[in-house]
A and B are shown apart, each in its own frame.
Chain A
Amino acid sequence: MARGKYDIKAFPGFLPMTILCLVILYAPLAVVTIYSLNDSNSITNWEGVSFRWYADVFTGPESEKFKIAAWNSFTIAIIAATVSTTIATLAATAMVRGGRFKLRTVSFGLISLPLMVPEIVTAVATLIFFNSIGFTRGYLTILVAHIAFCIPFAYMPISARMQGIEDTYEQAAMDLYATKRQAFTKILMPLMLPGIISGYILAFIISLDDFIITNFVKGAGVETLPTAIFGSVKQGIKPNIMAISTMLLAVSIIMVTISYFVSKSDNTK
């Protein structure tokens, strides 16, 4: 290739750097996945392949706790993703299609700021907020908190998608006798769908694996998977934790894969 020495692959240290990054990122995940299949009561001694710890998650002494936690986690993730994606879609429509209104920059800042605020600060603030309005902590407080912090995550892919859709499509629809509502539902919504699905999946994953905020706002006895896992780990790491972590990892991988194929199937092409 004529690119030759300008090719990034030719930079000194490119290969070692790449390998180092990959090892740091993925070696722990690989270890957890492999040891989840360990047929041993210890987490460090390898004693052959077995699915006993996966069975233990569903039938073992802690299975009841994990089942309830998983139910809480998934229902909260689904509701939070649905509500926050809806709000984010409306916000993106207003921001991208609203023209140049006053405080547009401020609005954008307000929507995206939660991404940059340290999560512990949001957690404390949310806790104080619930306390001060006298809300009893429990399932509902977790749900409300999740809806709130998922909005900016859902907003980003939706607004990025919308910026790529020229407003002449809606104009053409209205020129062809569509009402404003029809132009939105028949033209803009289908074109935005890949962005909306990406936003939904992102919000879902963020909600599913949130620990800090959840830990602060959950009531006594109400657990989600991450808090339940954390609770178990405090009493010592058992191999069933590796199994449950591997299953969570699988859910994330499936969601990311869906997101990848959705973004590839661009319906404007």
Chain B
Amino acid sequence: MSDKEIIAIDVRDAVKRYGDFTALQRISLSIYDNEFFTLLGPSGCGKTTLLRMIAGFEDVTEGAIFLFGDEIENLPPNKRPVNTVFQNYALFPHMSITENVGFGLEMRGKSKSDARKRAGEMLELVQLSQFADRKPSQLSGGQQQRVALARALAPQPKVLLLDEPLSALDLKLRQAMRFELKELQRETGITFIFVTHDQEEALTMSDRIAVMSAGEMQQLGEAKDIYERPHNMFVADFIGETNLLEVSVDQITNGRAICHLGGGHELTCSEVEGIGVGANVHMSVRPERLFLSDEPTESESLKGTIRDNIFVGTDIQTIIDLADGPKMIVRTSNSDRGNKRIFEPGAAAYVNMEAEAARLLVD
């Protein structure tokens, strides 16, 4: 696990502008030693720009970046003890796999034989020893990916930067690599900063996630936190699937907000700071936190009519129209079918939830 006493990368008020366009608006964040940290966001949100600023490929318009206490934002990439795994791997096509992996060590002044030896060890770590003398083009995508990892880890960087390294792989391989990456991070004890637009990737691998959008950080926290307690509309919508309903706040007591939504339905939500009585805001509730019944079972129950059931493999997704109100989506795990009823389209039913499951969001 990460060591919260030691800060590996400290980004302070970093701004990046290209002419009139601001790619990053004053970002500050601390990444701990030995942490698997993810920058998550849609394309164009500035996550790759931030990563490239840490690597040294982009200069910092304003602000500072510290690496274990040393200011690095003015150093060229070859003077920063951080290494990058590129999205397209960027393996040197004219060099063998061993030469690729040993390149960083040789550039750091290690002898050819030392570099070869260490490259051999790294290839063993990623289980590619038998390909040592091949050229990159003779390897599959997944193997190239592991060579890129070995090459970046060989010089023992203080921080490893990964720029969407899994996006070029097919689904099965991608899922296997998630696990391998996480293992590798634990084994090496090196801080990983991982950039992705894939929220599932982020949730499954990261110790902490920074969700970014439009050059701003939207939320920073542990995976579970981000998923279950999204701060704002963007995070709730971007991470996972959710029901977003417009509500207005009627009353706030003991950290609970009593709200009403279209069709006269009333609902108690957990309250979020900065929202007062009378506010018109959005409420988010995850489909798997809802369940259906004939009669109201929880304190929070909304009446509606089933529109459709959609089979999605592990789950059944039920769309229900609230009486005179918006529609909601309910997910029922397939394994629960024995004890949970599936309501046929047209049937009347109640949508039930716990008050903690419904969260108010700032826009």
A residues contacting B by CB (< 8 A) are: 166, 168-169, 171-179, 182, 187, 190-191, 267-269
CB-based A-B contact count at 8 angstroms: 63
Instruction: Name the contact of B77 in the complex, choosing from A166, A174, A190 (C-beta under 8 A).
Output: A174
Q: Would A175 and B78 count as touching, CB distance under 8 A?
A: yes
Residue B84 CB within 8 A of the other chain: yes
State whether the Cβ of B104 lies closer than 8 Å to any Cβ in chain A.
yes
The proximity string for B residues 133-164 relative to A, scoring 1 for CB distances below 8 Å and 0 otherwise, is 00001000000000000011001000000000
Query: How long is the Cα–Cα vector from A123 to B158 in the complex, in angstroms?
Result: 61
Q: Which of B76, B84, B108 has the most CB of A within 10 A?
A: B84
Q: Can you add 6 more A-B contacts, CB < 8 Å, to A172-B86, A176-B152, A177-B78?
A: A166-B88, A168-B90, A172-B90, A176-B103, A178-B78, A268-B137
* Complex Cα spacing A182 to B76, Å: 14
Query: Is the Cβ of A269 less than 8 Å from the Cβ of B107?
Result: no
A187 vs B107: C-alpha distance in the bound complex, in angstroms? Answer: 12
Most buried by B among A166, A171, A182, A191: A171
A167 CB → nearest B CB, Å: 9
B103 touches A173 (CB 8 A): yes
Q: Are B93 and A191 in contact (CB under 8 A)?
A: yes
Chain B, residues 80-101, CB within 8 Å of chain A (1/0): the string is: 0011101010111110000000
Kindly state the separation between the CA atoms of A178 and B155 in the bound complex, as whole angstroms: 12
9 tightest A-B contacts by CB?
A: A176-B104, A268-B93, A177-B107, A172-B90, A168-B90, A267-B94, A174-B77, A178-B107, A177-B78
Chain A residues with Cβ below 8 Å from B94 are 190-191, 267-268
The answer to whether A174 touches B90 (Cβ under 8 A) is no
CB-contacts of B22-75 with A (<8 A) = 55-57
Q: Which chain B residues lie closer than 8 Å to A187 at the CB level?
A: 92
Whether B92 lies near A175 (C-beta < 8 A) is: no
Minimal beta-carbon separation of A69 from chain B (angstroms): 40
* In contact, A171 and B107 (Cβ under 8 angstroms): no
On whether the beta carbons of A174 and B83 are closer than 8 Å, the reply is: no
A176–B86 CB distance below 8 A: no
Q: A190 — nearest CB in chain B belongs to which residue?
A: B94
Q: With contacts A166-B88, A268-B94, A269-B93 known, is A174 near B137, CB below 8 A?
A: no
In whole angstroms, what is the CA distance A182 to B110 when docked? 15
Residues from chain A with a CB closer than 8 A to the CB of B57 are 171, 175
Beyond A176-B155, A177-B104, whether A169 also contacts B92 by CB under 8 A is: yes
Closest CB-CB distance, B83 to chain A, in whole Å?
A: 6
Residue in B88, B92, B93, B108 whose CB lies within 8 Å of A173: B92
Per the bound structure, the CA–CA distance linking A172 and B83 in Å amounts to 9
| Contact A166 to B76, CB < 8 A, known contacts A176-B107, A177-B104 | no
- Which residues from chain A contact B76 at a C-beta distance below 8 Å? 174
